């Protein structure tokens, strides 16, 4: 009798019939699926699978609860489902900010979990109300979720693809920069000197320095930054980009997104004042990377060579910015689409016998059913003077690493890392010398290979794959074999440095040290609390045996000993605001830093 009365009450016109406990449990499990995998698993396929399976499973469970076990009247179940689908579709096709309209990523990772949570909160708050009232409270919370998502924009993400948000009505960093540029360009412009720019000792002419190894020789400075901190010389706003600097002849060269133009910009290294800027009418954006160029300019004999994220390769006069030629990777190679996250290969300029080539990796998307080896055209060399293509070669359809000029076995070689492995090409013909196959399928390689000595190279991989030590030898032919394997060195887009038998680089978000003879990690995992720098970057101050690290999200510069036994942090200070993926530069006693919003120059304190 009592059960019959309860059933009658729960279905009466004023009753609230919702069975909420399963929904609360599902929502708690949903957020556990969102929050736990990134904190306990290395970023890679295992984390992505765990994240997607947990999140997708909980969303499906919530749908099943709502449709079949919630006890909500059927018309209301269908009404809420219709509003959810209709609001999401309307948002993806116009209501949401353009950065938040990606149907797959945004809808599954953010919109649906947020709305499901708000709907559950609405049901909880209205549990004691009659259903005729509670239904509208629930609808209001659903619309609130859609409205909140419609009020934000995505500012990009960190190295583990955690998105960063801002209210859509607040100005972006680029808008602040453009307003500042329009208001103060005339006052802050430096005089253009048309005399040919000459390289000087201690300059930093290309990505990662003269030898592409992030190694700074012949530099010493005080490490007592508490008493003698680096002194700020200048700071300025810059356009968004993940480019680093080339430092030549008292000038800084970098790339920026300036409105609708991908621009190459020259600044005065002493003052930060702009000397010249020259752009192409192209605008690159990906929700993960944000806006702007990725590669760094290369200087060679009075000229600047650049690669834009949309695929433009160009030569410019380093003194004036006048363009000599421009080529399009999507026209010169058998690919007619962008790389997924833009073209990121900084130009490698190689000179011999009065001939100079500009070499760029672009990747060659595989035709359906075709083998990469049948379509070797992932890397291209241009004549530096004319811009005409000289050769195409190479495998791999997905990668963002810059080609590396290396000396192995007494012979100059161009090393190209891609999703397929590591390939060695003869610089002036593109002929393959050797190939070390380690296929990551559709995952890209972004970090450059690291040369240890004349016969040893470290091939670096992120996404949970790890790194291989590769032994290179020439007898009748070149042979590349595995020396060691490790999963304790997994850099994403952070390059590594070599010092006295050890590699210092990033294992996911932690700085680590690897013995190059064995591949074994020499730093204890217990020290990771001291080396959690996110997807930062590292320089080797070689003569002093120091590591200079820029952190990803805190804007800090951290100085450590290059100590294979344990990490020893000597000093640190906050240098920038916001996410910093750009490689730092040390040249002529100064530290040059930039990110997607600002650039700054510090004078390093003198030794003693």
pLDDT digits (tens, 9 = 90+) for 140-165: 999 998 888 889 888 877 777 777 88
Given a cut of 80, whether residue 87 has pLDDT beyond it is: yes
Q: Which residues pair with 61 in a beta bridge?
A: none
pLDDT at 155: 83
Three-point CA angle 205, 550, 181, nearest 5°:
65
Task: Determine the distance from the C-alpha atom of residue 18 to the mean position of all C-alpha atoms in its chain, rounded to a whole number.
Answer: 45
Given a cut of 60, whether residue 121 has pLDDT beyond it is: yes
**Residue closest to 191 by CA, chosen among 250, 231, 103:** 250
Give how many domains the chain has, as a whole number. Answer: 1
- Structure tokens of 457? 């190279």
- Pairing state between β 261-268 and 251-258: antiparallel
SS3 590: strand
Given a cut of 70, whether residue 103 has pLDDT beyond it is: no
Q: Which residues pair with 484 in a beta bridge?
A: 469
Distance between first and last Cα of the chain: 92
CB 261 within 8 A of CB 241: no
* CA gap 395, 362 in Å, rounded: 10
Residue 377 lies in a domain: no
Average pLDDT over residues 506-527: 94
CA distances from 437 to 237, 284, 379, 434, 471 (A): 43, 32, 17, 10, 13
Domain range for 39: 2-167
**Residue closest to 509 by CA, chosen among 21, 68, 39, 54:** 39
* CA gap 425, 414 in Å, rounded: 5
197-223 pLDDT tens trace: 999 999 999 999 999 999 999 999 999
Following DSSP, what letter does each residue of 117-180 receive, concatenated? HHHHHHHHHTTTS-HHHHHHHHHHHHHHHHHHHHTEEEEEE-TT--EEEEETTSPPHHHHHHHH
- Tokens 């934000």 — which residue? 152
Give this prediction's pTM.
Answer: 0.90
- Tokens 């949401």 — which residue? 96
Angle between helices 112-125 and 131-150 (to 10 degrees): 150
Residue 567 lies in a domain: no
218-259 pLDDT tens trace: 999 999 999 999 999 999 999 999 999 999 999 999 999 999
* CA gap 561, 570 in Å, rounded: 7
Given a cut of 70, whether residue 38 has pLDDT beyond it is: yes
CB 153 within 8 A of CB 82: no
* CA gap 15, 8 in Å, rounded: 9
Average pLDDT over residues 320-348: 88
* CA gap 529, 347 in Å, rounded: 37
Residue 468 lies in a domain: no
Q: Which of 57-71, 83-97, 262-276 has the highest mean pLDDT?
A: 262-276
Average pLDDT over residues 375-385: 89
* CA gap 92, 86 in Å, rounded: 10
Residue 435 lies in a domain: no
CB 117 within 8 A of CB 132: no
* Host H or E run for residue 187: helix 173-188
Q: What share of the chain has pLDDT > 70, as a percent? A: 92
- Structure tokens of 109? 């990772």
Given a cut of 70, whether residue 594 has pLDDT beyond it is: yes
Residue 141 lies in a domain: yes
Q: Which residue has the higher pLDDT, 101 or 428?
A: 428
Angle between helices 112-125 and 45-64 (to 10 degrees): 40
CA distances from 195 to 264, 278, 320 (A): 19, 18, 9
pLDDT at 107: 61
Q: How many helices (H) and strands (E) does the chain have?
A: 10, 36
Residue 174 lies in a domain: no
Residue 95 lies in a domain: yes
CB 438 within 8 A of CB 452: no
Average pLDDT over residues 264-274: 96
* CA gap 538, 525 in Å, rounded: 19
Neighbours of 489 (CB within 10 A): 27
Given a cut of 60, whether residue 375 has pLDDT beyond it is: no
Residue 33 lies in a domain: yes
């Amino acid at each position: 009798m009592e059960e019959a009365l309860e059933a009658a009450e729960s279905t009466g016109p004023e009753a609230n019939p919702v069975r909420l406990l399963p929904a609360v449990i599902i929502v708690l499990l949903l957020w556990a699926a969102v929050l736990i995998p990134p904190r306990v698993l290395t970023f890679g396929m295992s984390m992505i699978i765990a994240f997607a399976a947990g999140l997708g499973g909980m969303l499906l469970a919530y749908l099943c609860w709502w449709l079949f076990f919630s006890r909500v009247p059927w018309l209301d179940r269908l009404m809420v489902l219709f509003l959810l689908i209709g609001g999401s579709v309307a948002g993806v096709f116009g209501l949401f900010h353009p950065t938040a309209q990606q149907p797959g990523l945004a809808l599954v990772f953010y919109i649906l979990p947020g709305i499901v949570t708000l709907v559950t909160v609405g049901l909880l708050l209205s549990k004691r109300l009659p259903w005729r009232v509670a239904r509208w409270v629930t609808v209001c919370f659903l619309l609130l979720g859609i409205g909140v998502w419609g009020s934000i924009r995505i500012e990009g993400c960190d190295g583990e693809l955690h998105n960063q948000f801002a209210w859509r009505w607040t100005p972006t960093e680029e808008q602040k920069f453009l307003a500042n540029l329009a208001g103060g360009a005339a006052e802050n412009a430096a005089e253009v000197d048309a005399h040919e720019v000459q390289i000087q000792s201690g300059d930093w002419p290309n990505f990662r320095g003269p030898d592409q190894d992030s190694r700074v020789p012949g530099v010493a400075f005080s490490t007592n930054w508490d008493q003698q901190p680096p002194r700020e010389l200048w700071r300025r706003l810059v356009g968004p980009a993940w480019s680093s600097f080339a430092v030549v002849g008292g000038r800084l060269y970098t790339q920026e997104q300036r409105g609708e133009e991908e621009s190459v910009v020259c600044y005065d290294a002493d003052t930060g004042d702009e000397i010249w800027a020259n752009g192409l009418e192209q605008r690159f954006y990906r929700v993960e990377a944000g806006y702007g160029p990725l590669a760094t300019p290369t200087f060679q004999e009075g000229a600047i060579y650049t690669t834009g994220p949309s695929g433009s390769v160009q030569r410019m006069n380093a003194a004036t910015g006048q363009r000599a030629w421009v080529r399009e990777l999507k026209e010169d190679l058998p690919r007619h689409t962008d790389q997924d996250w833009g073209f990121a290969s900084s130009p490698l300029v190689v000179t011999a016998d009065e001939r100079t080539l500009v070499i760029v990796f672009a990747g060659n998307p595989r035709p359906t059913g075709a083998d990469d080896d049948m379509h070797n055209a992932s890397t291209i060399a241009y004549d530096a003077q004319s811009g005409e293509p000289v050769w195409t070669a190479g495998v791999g359809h997905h990668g963002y690493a810059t080609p590396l000029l290396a000396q192995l076995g007494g012979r100059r070689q161009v090393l190209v890392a891609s999703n397929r492995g590591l390939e060695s090409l003869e610089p002036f013909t593109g002929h393959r010398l050797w190939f070390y196959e380690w296929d990551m399928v559709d995952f890209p390689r972004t970090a450059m290979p690291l040369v240890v000595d004349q016969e040893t190279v470290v091939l670096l991989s992120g996404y949970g794959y790890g790194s291989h030590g590769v032994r290179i030898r020439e007898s009748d032919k070149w042979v590349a074999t595995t020396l060691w394997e490790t999963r304790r060195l997994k850099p994403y887009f952070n390059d590594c440095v070599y010092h006295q038998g050890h590699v210092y680089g990033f294992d996911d978000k932690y700085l680590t040290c690897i013995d190059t003879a064995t591949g074994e990690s020499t730093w204890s995992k217990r020290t990771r609390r001291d080396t959690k720098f996110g997807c930062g970057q590292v320089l080797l101050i070689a003569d002093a045996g120091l590591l200079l690290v820029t952190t990803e999200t805190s804007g800090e510069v951290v100085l450590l000993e290059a100590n294979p036994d344990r990490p020893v942090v000597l000093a640190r200070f906050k240098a920038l605001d916001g996410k910093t993926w750009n490689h730092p530069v040390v040249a002529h006693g100064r530290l040059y830093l930039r990110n997607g919003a600002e650039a700054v120059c510090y004078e390093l304190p003198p030794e003693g």
